[in-house]
Structure 1
Amino acid sequence: MLYPELFKQLEAVRWNMDTDIAWAQFDASLLTEDQAQTIKMNAITEWAALPATEMFLRDNRDDSDFSAFMSVWFFEEQKHSLVLMEYLRRFRPDLVPTEAELHAVRFEFDPAPALETLMLHFCGEIRLNHWYRRAAEWHTEPVIKQIYETLAKDEARHGGAYLRYMKRALTKFGDEARSAFAKVGVLMASARRTAQALHPTNLHVNEKLFPRDTIQSRLPDPAWLEHWLDKQIQFDTVWENKVVERILHNMSLLMERSFASVQELNRFRKEVTTRLAASAAHNQRGIQPA
């Protein structure tokens, strides 16, 4: 099991909201209205760890190890929402999200293949780490800068934990896992070709609720994320390339094969898909009656 070791590792570096955040250094003159509004939107977005955890537990009922790890992931992700709300409670109480605004992002996700979902959230942690690093640079008020730096480190650690479960999946499922990880990896490393940000909170997850079936669509300001990325923290091509490089680097380590581009990863995906199809055809012939 991976859970006991991951618990110890994450417990050893867990930060304390009361003592590790330098609340006393707050400088009201350095917090703009636009920045304060984005903190509210981010607090609500982080609350979406709740429906994500419900999804993970539902779709991984046969995996008690991973489900147990969700107790750690869920706790730390909800603390992200909480620390952002605590910042607002102390310094902009008028912007603290209401319970109704938080509850609006709790809705059921459609069932999805567990391996693809695992890879999706691994890539999401990489992307969020880079978004928060950039947000820390953009913000001018020192306390919220420190908070975003702290959250970014958490997201990186979560990505590392997901990677451990991905390595385990390769041992258990072989090409099935390789195919799922490569498929989602190609998608998530191709964000510069899409019109929207590729992150779990911005993907459609409930067909019956379309178009209000993404986390971002249920925020008080559904257009916030794109504006935050493009106009405020300016998550440009340079930063997007950093995300792509990390995804390709980790896929190279995982598959023990070098991927210098999304195209190379996509060729690998096609190779694995061909192998799986050939194996399925062989097995089908093997069970046909004489």
Structure 2
Amino acid sequence: MLYPELFKQLESVRWDMDKDIPWDQFDASKLSDEQAQTIKMNAITEWAALPATEMFLRDNRGDSDFSAFMSIWFFEEQKHSLVLMEYLRRFRPDLVPTEQELHEIRFEFDPAPALETLMLHFCGEIRLNHWYRRASEWHTEPVIKQIYTTLSQDEARHGGAYLRYMKRAINNFGNEAKAAFTKVGVLMASARRTAQALHPTNLHVNKDLFPRDTIQSRLPNPEWLEHWLDKQINFDAVWETKVVDRILHNMSLLMDRSFKSVQELNRYRKELAASLAPAVPVAGVQPV
């Protein structure tokens, strides 16, 4: 089991909201209304760990080890929402999300293949780590800069934990797991070709609720994410390349071969898909 070891590792570096956030360094002159509004949106988005955890537990009923790990992931992700709300409560109480605004993003996700979902959220952690690093650079108020740095470090650790479970899946399921991971890896490393940000909170997950079946679509300002990325934290091609490079690097480690581009990863994905495809019988010949 991975859960006991991961619990010990993450417990040893867990930060304390009262002791490790420098609340007394707050400088009101360095927090703009524009910046404060983005903190509210991120606080609500982080609340999406609640429906995501419900999804993970439902779709991984046969995996008690991973389901137990969800107790760590859920706690730490919900604390992200909580610390952002605490910042607003202290310094911009008019912007604290309401309980209804938080509840609005709790809805059921359609069932999906567990291995693909694991890879999707692994890539999501990589992407969020980079988004929050950029957010910390964009903000000017020292306390929120530290908060975003702290959150980015958590997301990196969560990605590392997911990677452990992905290695275990490859040991257990071989090419089936590799095929699932490369399929989603190609998608999540191809953000430059899409019109929307590729992150789990921005993907459609409930066909009955379409088009309001993404986390972002249910925010008070559904257009917020793209504006935050493009116009505020300026998550440009340089930063997007960093995300893609991390995905390719980790895919190279997982698959034990080098991928220098998304195209190379996609070619390998096709090789795996072909190896797993059932043989097509020749006409008139019955399979033995």
Task: Report the TM-score range of the alignment, normalised by the length of the smaller protein.
Answer: over 0.9
CA distance in 2 between counterparts of 1:243 and 1:139 reads 21
Match of 1:281 among 279, 282, 286: 279
CA distance in 2 between counterparts of 1:246 and 1:160 reads 12
Q: Secondary structure at the match of 2:235?
A: coil
Equivalent residue number for residue 178 of structure 2: 178
Equivalent residue number for residue 76 of structure 1: 76
CA distance in 2 between counterparts of 1:274 and 1:188 reads 21
Q: Secondary structure at the match of 1:20?
A: coil
Equivalent residue number for residue 33 of structure 1: 33
Equivalent residue number for residue 55 of structure 2: 55
CA distance in 2 between counterparts of 1:58 and 1:23 reads 38
Matched, 1:203 2:182: no
Equivalent residue number for residue 87 of structure 2: 87
Deviation at 1:289, TM superposition (A): 7.6
CA distance in 2 between counterparts of 1:9 and 1:204 reads 33
CA distance in 1 between counterparts of 2:142 and 2:109 reads 37
2:3 is aligned with what amino acid? Y
Structure 1's 144 and 71: CA in aligned 2 closer, same or farther, altered over 3 A?
A: same
User: Residues 72-96 of structure 1: CA distance to partner in whole angstroms, max 9, x if unpaired?
Assistant: 0000000000000000000000000
Q: Secondary structure at the match of 1:137?
A: helix
User: Residues 32-61 of structure 1: CA distance to partner in whole angstroms, max 9, x if unpaired?
Assistant: 000000000000000000000000000000
Equivalent residue number for residue 166 of structure 2: 166
Equivalent residue number for residue 251 of structure 1: 251
CA distance in 1 between counterparts of 2:166 and 2:101 reads 34
CA distance in 2 between counterparts of 1:35 and 1:223 reads 16
1:116 is aligned with what amino acid? E
CA distance in 1 between counterparts of 2:233 and 2:138 reads 5
Structure 1's 289 and 137: CA in aligned 2 closer, same or farther, altered over 3 A?
A: closer
Matched, 1:143 2:143: yes
Q: Secondary structure at the match of 1:263?
A: helix
Provide the aligned C-alpha RMSD in A: 1.1
Q: Percent identity?
A: 85
Q: Secondary structure at the match of 2:279?
A: helix
CA distance in 2 between counterparts of 1:181 and 1:148 reads 28
Deviation at 1:149, TM superposition (A): 0.1
Matched, 1:222 2:219: no
CA distance in 1 between counterparts of 2:279 and 2:173 reads 18
TM-score scaled by length of structure 1:
0.97
CA distance in 1 between counterparts of 2:287 and 2:259 reads 43
TM-score scaled by length of structure 2:
0.97
Q: Secondary structure at the match of 1:129?
A: helix
Deviation at 1:281, TM superposition (A): 2.6
Equivalent residue number for residue 110 of structure 1: 110
Runs of 4+ in 1 over 4 A off after TM superposition: none
Aligned pair count reads 284
Which consecutive unaligned segments of at least 5 residues does structure 1 have?
Answer: none
CA distance in 2 between counterparts of 1:106 and 1:48 reads 7
CA distance in 2 between counterparts of 1:273 and 1:48 reads 32
CA distance in 1 between counterparts of 2:262 and 2:101 reads 38
Which consecutive unaligned segments of at least 5 residues does structure 2 have?
Answer: none
